[in-house]
Amino acid sequence: MSLSPTEFRSGMRQLAAAVNVITTRHDGARAGMTATAVMSLTAEPPQIAVAVNRSNASYAAITGSGVFAVNVLANDHAAIASRFAGADGVKGEARFSAGQWDVLETGAPILRDCAASFDCTLVQEVAFTSHVVLVGLVRAVRVAPGTTPLLFMDGAWASLVRANDGDFAAYEQLIGELTGALDAVLASQGSFTRKLHDFSAAFIRVNAPVVDVLRDFYTRETFASASRLDAINQRKREVEHKLQDLLIRGVGTGEFEARDPVAAADAILGLLNGIHRRPAATGAQAEDLARRLADLVVAMVAKRHPVPA
Ligand SMILES: Cc1cc2nc3c(=O)[nH]c(=O)nc-3n(C[C@H](O)[C@H](O)[C@H](O)COP(=O)(O)O)c2cc1C
């Protein structure tokens, strides 16, 4: 049974790839195209390979000039990647009105501020039906260490945000503080309504001054290692369970009204977690926010509110 191109592509969509713009200069005009089919070939001599569709205008320009550059795009180059893939209909030299371009040794255009550029002379061509693998001998390299690369994955531009242990340590410490504050509240005397109020206020009191840590984490967590995420999610579930337990017990004594205490706990945590969408609040501001949100939470489930002193 032969595989259809659609089946092949559906697999390839899952192959996250670095995005490059391959450029050349031929007969006084620049040409360039976006390419993910780029690979390192040998370090000695330094060679790089690119698979180019022979119907692309860039193919004729590269083979005509005998030179090309591979520009490895940075995270903020998605618009350039789209343009050099032909998305806005702009062709040839006009594509270069976006970005700033230099030259190194061969005269092929080198994109300023990209992650790395390899300036090459074309040394070999190997044809495979629609595509030709072009092998370049690298004459010069320009590198910008620390650049975050642009990726292409599942039909969309993607970014790999660098996460370091410091970010996760700060987040884990925050959850630890939160859990400690909640345990203290839950162990205190008083009605379930009072406990729920103090639980909510403690949650905000811990989170409000450090929303930057939270916001940072929410943008990075997808890139954390699986074991690190498991550890963090485990801590989050502890908090969920404590709140569910509090609500169930409050319903049991008739203090709370909630047909589905687990869903109510989710809704409450959703409200309290929304704090990371606000600017950081400290001191009296954080205190005021804690009190107001705690009142709101109590109003969601308690039969009697405001909270009895
Ligand atoms: C993410 C992405 C990756 C691509 N990779 C390649 C590639 O590796 N080789 C190729 O020939 N075309 C690739 N293309 C298609 C070319 O960028 C596109 O056909 C371009 O318009 C060719 O320009 P040209 O005809 O001016 O050379 C890719 C397109 C996208 C969006």
Q: Are residues 146 and 253 in the same domain?
A: no
Query: Residue 44 has what pLDDT?
Result: 97
Residues 171 and 249 in one domain: yes
For the segment 169-190, the average pLDDT, to the nearest whole number, is 88
85 occurs within a structural domain: yes
| CB of 52 closer than 6 angstroms to any ligand 1 atom | yes
Q: Calculate how far, in angstroms, residue 240's C-alpha sits from the geometric centre of ligand 1.
A: 48
Q: Are residues 234 and 117 in the same domain?
A: no
Distance 159 CA to ligand 1 centre (A): 19
User: Among 159, 191, 225, which residue terminates a domain?
Assistant: 159
- Which residues make Cβ contacts (< 8 Å) with residue 247, sequence separation at least 6? 196, 256, 258, 261, 264, 265, 301
Same domain, 128 and 10: yes
Write out the residue range of the structural domain in which residue 218 sits. Answer: 165-301
One DSSP character per residue, the chain reads -PPPHHHHHHHHTTS-EE-EEEEEEETTEEEEEEES-EEEEETTTTEEEEEEETTSHHHHHHHHHSEEEEEEPBTT-HHHHHHHTTTT---GGGGGGSS-EEE-SS--EEETTSSEEEEEEEEEEEEETTEEEEEEEEEEEEE-TTPPBEEEETTEEEE-----HHHHHHHHHHHHHHHHHHHHHHHSSS-HHHHHHHHHHHHHHHHGGGHHHHHHHHHHGGGS-HHHHHHHHHHHHHHHHHHHHHHHHHHHTTSB--S-HHHHHHHHHHHHHGGGGSPP--HHHHHHHHHHHHHHHHHHHBSS-SPP-
Give the CATH number of the domain where residue 117 resides. 2.30.110.10
Residues 67-107 pLDDT 10s: 999 999 998 899 999 999 999 999 999 999 999 999 999 99
Tell me if 74 sits within 8 A of 113, measured CB to CB.
yes
Q: Please tell me the predicted confidence (pLDDT) of residue 279.
A: 87
Number of C-beta neighbours around residue 138 at 10 A: 21
- 308 is a domain residue: no
* Most ligand 1 atoms within 8 A of CB, residue of 12, 25, 56, 134 to mutate: 56
Number of domains in the chain: 2
Is the pLDDT score of 161 beyond 60? no
In a domain, 151, yes or no: yes
152 close to ligand 1 (CB < 6 Angstrom): yes
Q: For residue 307, is it within any domain?
A: no
Residues 153 and 178 in one domain: no
Q: Does residue 86's CB lie within 6 angstroms of at least one atom of ligand 1?
A: yes
Q: How large is the average pLDDT for residues 131-140?
A: 98
- Ligand 1 site, residue 13, Cβ cutoff 6 A: no
Instruction: Check pocket membership of 22 for ligand 1, CB cut-off 6 A.
Output: no
CA distance 301 to 34: 56
Handedness of CA 113, 75, 42, 25 (dihedral sign): negative
Mean pLDDT of the chain: 91
Write the residue with the smallest CA distance to atom 6 of ligand 1: 35
Cβ(17) to ligand 1 under 6 A? no
Let me know whether 197 and 294 are in one domain: yes
In this structure, is residue 39 part of a structural domain? yes
Domain assignment of residue 306, yes or no? no
Which pLDDT score is estimated for 292? 94
- Judged against a pLDDT cut of 80, whether residue 163 lies above it is answered with no
Query: Whose Cα sits closest to atom 30 in ligand 1?
Result: 85
Q: Does 280 lie in the same domain as 170?
A: yes
Whether residue 122 is found in the same domain as residue 184: no
Written as six digits, the tokens of 53 are: 């569709």
Q: Is the CB of 53 within 6 Å of ligand 1?
A: yes
pTM of the predicted model, to two decimals? 0.64
Residue 206 belongs to some domain of the structure: yes
What distance in angstroms lies between residue 46's CA and the mean position of ligand 1's atoms?
24
Region 34-46 average pLDDT? 98
Whether 181 and 280 map to the same domain: the answer is: yes
Does the C-beta of 85 come closer than 6 Å to ligand 1?
yes
114 and 211 part of one domain: no
pLDDT digits (tens, 9 = 90+) for 216-247: 777 665 555 556 667 778 888 999 999 999 99
CATH number at residue 231: 1.10.357.10
- Ligand 1 atom with the smallest distance to the CA of 61 is 27
Q: Of 138, 159, 180, which marks where a domain is finished? A: 159
Q: Whose CA is nearest to atom 31 of ligand 1?
A: 85
Percent of the chain with pLDDT over 70: 92
- Of 105, 130, 159, which marks where a domain is finished? 159
Is residue 36 lining ligand 1, measured as CB closer than 6 Å?
yes
Residues 19 and 155 in one domain: yes
Does 255 reside within a domain? yes
Same domain, residue pair 103 and 194: no
